[in-house]
A and B are shown apart, each in its own frame.
Chain A
Amino acid sequence: MNQFEYTRPTKQKAALEQKAKSPATKFIAGGTNLIDLMKHGVENPQKLVDINRLPLHKIEQTKTGLRIGALVANSTVAEDKQVLEKFPLLSQALVSGASAQLRHMATVGGNIMQRTRCYYFYDTALPCNKREPGSGCGALEGINRIHAIFGFSDKCIAVHPSDMCVALAALDAKVLVTGPNGDRSISFLDFHRLPGDQPEKDTNLGPDELILAVDIPASPFTKNVHYLKVRERASYAFALVSVAAALDIENNTIRNARLAMGGVAHKPWRLLGAEKALIGKQVSEEVFQQAAAVAMQGAKAFEHNEYKLKLAPNSIVQALKNAAGMA
Chain B
Amino acid sequence: MNTNYIGKGTSRVDGREKVTGQAKYAAEFTAEGMTHAFVVSSRIAKGKIKSIDASAALELEGVLDVFTHKNRPKLAWYDKSYQDEDSPPGSPFRPLYDSEIQFSMQPIALVVAETFELARYGASLVQVEYEEESHTTNLKANREKAYNPKKYKSGEPPKSRGNMEEAFAGAAAKVDQEYFHTSEHHNPMEMHASTVVWEDDGTMTIYDKTQSVKNSQNYIKKIFDLSTKDARVISPFVGGAFGSGLRPQYQLFLAVMAALALERSVKLVLTRQQMFSFGHRPATIQHLQLGASKDGNLLAAKHEAFAETSRFEDYAENVVVWQNTLYKCDNVAFDYKLVGLDVYTPLDMRAPGGVTGMYALESAMDELAVAAGIDPVELRLKNYTEKDQNEDAPFTSKELKECYRQAAEKFGWEKRNPEPRSMRDGHKLVGWGMASAAWEATQQEASAKAQLTADGKLIVSSATADIGTGTYTVMTQLAAETLGLPLEDVTFKLGDSTLPYAPLEGGSWTVSSVGSAVKKVCDAIGERLLKFSRKLPGSPFALAGLEEVKFENGMMKLKSDPSKGFYIKDIMQQRELDVIEEEVTSKPASEQKNYAPYAHAAVFVEVKVDEDFGTITVSRVVSGVAAGRVINTKTSRSQILGGIVWGIGMALEEESFMDNTFGRFMNHNLAEYHVPVNADVHDIEVIFVEEHDEIVNPIGAKGLGEIGIVGVAAAIANAVYHATGKRVRDLPITLDKVM
Question: B659 at the A/B interface (Cβ < 8 Å)?
Answer: yes
With A123-B666, A230-B613 in contact, do A138 and B659 touch (Cβ < 8 Å)?
yes
Contact (Cβ within 8 A) A318 B680: no
Chain B contact residues, majority secondary structure: loop
Q: Across the interface, which residues of A come within 8 angstroms of B499, CB to CB? A: none
Contact (Cβ within 8 A) A230 B615: yes
Question: B380 at the A/B interface (Cβ < 8 Å)?
Answer: no
With A117-B671, A230-B613, A307-B739 in contact, do A236 and B662 touch (Cβ < 8 Å)?
no
Contact (Cβ within 8 A) A307 B668: no
Contact (Cβ within 8 A) B676 A233: yes
Q: Across the interface, which residues of A come within 8 angstroms of B595, CB to CB? A: none
A77-136 residues at the B interface, CB under 8 angstroms: 117, 119-120, 122-123, 125-126
Q: Which of the residues B41, B427, B657, B674 comes within 8 Å of A119, measured between beta carbons?
A: B657
Question: A297 at the A/B interface (Cβ < 8 Å)?
Answer: no
Contact (Cβ within 8 A) B662 A126: yes
Q: Which of the residues A138, A145, A327 comes within 8 Å of B662, measured between beta carbons?
A: A138
- Rounded to whole Å, the gap between the CB of B695 and the closest CB of chain A is 43
Known: A145-B657, A230-B735. 8 other contacts (CB 8 A): A2-B121, A126-B664, A142-B662, A234-B677, A237-B671, A238-B671, A307-B735, A315-B612
Q: Which residue of chain B has its CB nearest to the CB of A44?
A: B124
With A1-B121, A2-B121 in contact, do A318 and B612 touch (Cβ < 8 Å)?
yes
Q: Which of the residues A125, A235, A314, A327 comes within 8 Å of B613, measured between beta carbons?
A: A314
Give the docked Cα–Cα distance between A310 and B676 (Å). 25
Q: Which residue of chain A has its CB nearest to the CB of B120?
A: A1
B542-580 residues at the A interface, CB under 8 angstroms: none
Number of interface residues of B (CB under 8 A): 38
- Rounded to whole Å, the gap between the CB of A94 and the closest CB of chain B is 17
Contact (Cβ within 8 A) B680 A233: yes
Q: Which of the residues A117, A235, A315, A318 comes within 8 Å of B677, measured between beta carbons?
A: A235
Contact (Cβ within 8 A) B612 A125: no
Q: Which residue of chain A has its CB nearest to the CB of B427?
A: A327
Give the docked Cα–Cα distance between A126 and B668 (Å). 13
Contact (Cβ within 8 A) B612 A314: yes
Q: Across the interface, which residues of A come within 8 angstroms of B612, CB to CB? A: 314-315, 317-318
Question: A176 at the A/B interface (Cβ < 8 Å)?
Answer: no
Chain A contact residues, majority secondary structure: loop
Q: Which of the residues B667, B668, B680, B735 comes within 8 Å of A311, measured between beta carbons?
A: B735
Question: B302 at the A/B interface (Cβ < 8 Å)?
Answer: no
Give the docked Cα–Cα distance between A223 and B198 (Å). 67
Question: A286 at the A/B interface (Cβ < 8 Å)?
Answer: no
Question: B672 at the A/B interface (Cβ < 8 Å)?
Answer: yes
A238-279 residues at the B interface, CB under 8 angstroms: 238, 240
- Rounded to whole Å, the gap between the CB of B496 and the closest CB of chain A is 34
Q: Across the interface, which residues of A come within 8 angstroms of B124, CB to CB? A: 41
Question: A232 at the A/B interface (Cβ < 8 Å)?
Answer: yes
Contact (Cβ within 8 A) B674 A237: yes
Q: Across the interface, which residues of A come within 8 angstroms of B60, CB to CB? A: 1
Question: B661 at the A/B interface (Cβ < 8 Å)?
Answer: yes
- Rounded to whole Å, the gap between the CB of B69 and the closest CB of chain A is 19
- Rounded to whole Å, the gap between the CB of B598 and the closest CB of chain A is 33
B261-301 residues at the A interface, CB under 8 angstroms: 273
Number of interface residues of A (CB under 8 A): 33
- Rounded to whole Å, the gap between the CB of A168 and the closest CB of chain B is 23
Q: Which residue of chain A has its CB nearest to the CB of B44?
A: A125
With A117-B672, A314-B613 in contact, do A143 and B666 touch (Cβ < 8 Å)?
yes
Give the docked Cα–Cα distance between A305 and B612 (Å). 16
Q: Across the interface, which residues of B come within 8 angstroms of A318, CB to CB? A: 612-613
Contact (Cβ within 8 A) A1 B117: yes
**Residue in A1, A2, A122, A232 with the greatest tally of chain B CB atoms within 10 Å:** A1
Give the docked Cα–Cα distance between A318 and B615 (Å). 14
Q: Across the interface, which residues of B come within 8 angstroms of A143, CB to CB? A: 657, 659, 666-667
- Rounded to whole Å, the gap between the CB of A210 and the closest CB of chain B is 27
Question: A141 at the A/B interface (Cβ < 8 Å)?
Answer: yes
With A230-B615, A232-B653, A318-B612 in contact, do A122 and B669 touch (Cβ < 8 Å)?
yes
Q: What is the 8 Å Cβ interface bit string for chain B, positions 27-68, against chain A (1 contact, 0 not)?
A: 000000000000001010000000000000000100000000
Contact (Cβ within 8 A) A311 B614: yes
Q: Across the interface, which residues of A come within 8 angstroms of B615, CB to CB? A: 230
- Rounded to whole Å, the gap between the CB of B357 and the closest CB of chain A is 26
Give the docked Cα–Cα distance between A243 and B259 (Å). 55
A269-324 residues at the B interface, CB under 8 angstroms: 306-307, 310-311, 314-315, 317-318
With A119-B672, A123-B666 in contact, do A311 and B613 touch (Cβ < 8 Å)?
yes
Give the docked Cα–Cα distance between A236 and B613 (Å). 18
Give the docked Cα–Cα distance between A311 and B221 (Å). 56
Q: Across the interface, which residues of B come within 8 angstroms of A238, CB to CB? A: 671
**How many A-B pairs fall under 8 Å by CB?**
87
Contact (Cβ within 8 A) B666 A233: no
Instruction: List the interface of chain B (C-beta within 8 A of A).
Output: 41, 43, 60, 117-118, 121, 124, 273, 426-427, 612-615, 617, 652-653, 657, 659, 661-662, 664, 666-669, 671-672, 674, 676-680, 734-736, 739
Give the docked Cα–Cα distance between A119 and B273 (Å). 12
- Rounded to whole Å, the gap between the CB of B492 and the closest CB of chain A is 35
Q: Across the interface, which residues of B come within 8 angstroms of A327, CB to CB? A: 426-427
Q: Which of the residues A41, A142, A237 comes within 8 Å of B661, measured between beta carbons?
A: A142
Give the docked Cα–Cα distance between A243 and B614 (Å). 16
Give the docked Cα–Cα distance between A34 and B649 (Å). 29
A1-57 residues at the B interface, CB under 8 angstroms: 1-2, 41
Give the docked Cα–Cα distance between A142 and B41 (Å). 20
Q: Which of the residues B668, B677, B735 comes within 8 Å of A240, measured between beta carbons?
A: B735
Give the docked Cα–Cα distance between A234 and B427 (Å). 17
- Rounded to whole Å, the gap between the CB of A117 and the closest CB of chain B is 7
- Rounded to whole Å, the gap between the CB of A143 and the closest CB of chain B is 5
Give the docked Cα–Cα distance between A198 and B734 (Å). 33
Contact (Cβ within 8 A) B666 A119: yes
- Rounded to whole Å, the gap between the CB of B44 and the closest CB of chain A is 9
Give the docked Cα–Cα distance between A240 and B653 (Å). 14
Give the docked Cα–Cα distance between A324 and B150 (Å). 65
CB<8 Å pairs between A and B, sample of 14:
A1-B60, A119-B657, A122-B669, A138-B659, A142-B661, A232-B735, A234-B617, A235-B677, A235-B678, A235-B680, A237-B674, A310-B739, A314-B613, A327-B426
Give the docked Cα–Cα distance between A143 and B667 (Å). 9
With A311-B739, A318-B612 in contact, do A125 and B661 touch (Cβ < 8 Å)?
no
Q: Across the interface, which residues of A come within 8 angstroms of B669, CB to CB? A: 122
Give the docked Cα–Cα distance between A2 and B121 (Å). 7
Q: Across the interface, which residues of B come within 8 angstroms of A306, CB to CB? A: 736
Q: 4 tightest CB-CB pairs across the interface, nearest first?
A: A307-B736, A234-B679, A235-B679, A119-B666
Q: Across the interface, which residues of A come within 8 angstroms of B668, CB to CB? A: 123
Give the docked Cα–Cα distance between A235 and B739 (Å). 20
Q: Which of the residues B426, B653, B657, B659 comes within 8 Å of A233, measured between beta carbons?
A: B653
Q: Across the interface, which residues of A come within 8 angstroms of B666, CB to CB? A: 119-120, 123, 142-143
Q: Across the interface, which residues of A come within 8 angstroms of B664, CB to CB? A: 123, 125-126
Contact (Cβ within 8 A) B659 A125: no
- Rounded to whole Å, the gap between the CB of A76 and the closest CB of chain B is 22
- Rounded to whole Å, the gap between the CB of B421 and the closest CB of chain A is 18
Q: Across the interface, which residues of B come within 8 angstroms of A235, CB to CB? A: 677-680
Q: Which residue of chain B has its CB nearest to the CB of A126?
A: B662
**Residue in B664, B668, B672 with the greatest tally of chain A CB atoms within 10 Å:** B672
- Rounded to whole Å, the gap between the CB of B489 and the closest CB of chain A is 41
Q: Which residue of chain B has its CB nearest to the CB of A119?
A: B666
A129-169 residues at the B interface, CB under 8 angstroms: 138, 141-143, 145
- Rounded to whole Å, the gap between the CB of A32 and the closest CB of chain B is 11
- Rounded to whole Å, the gap between the CB of A106 and the closest CB of chain B is 14
- Rounded to whole Å, the gap between the CB of B5 and the closest CB of chain A is 38
Q: Across the interface, which residues of B come within 8 angstroms of A1, CB to CB? A: 60, 117-118, 121
Q: Which residue of chain B has its CB nearest to the CB of A234?
A: B679
Q: Which residue of chain B has its CB nearest to the CB of A141?
A: B661
Q: Across the interface, which residues of B come within 8 angstroms of A145, CB to CB? A: 657
- Rounded to whole Å, the gap between the CB of A46 and the closest CB of chain B is 13
Q: Across the interface, which residues of A come within 8 angstroms of B667, CB to CB? A: 119, 143
With A119-B672, A123-B666 in contact, do A236 and B659 touch (Cβ < 8 Å)?
no
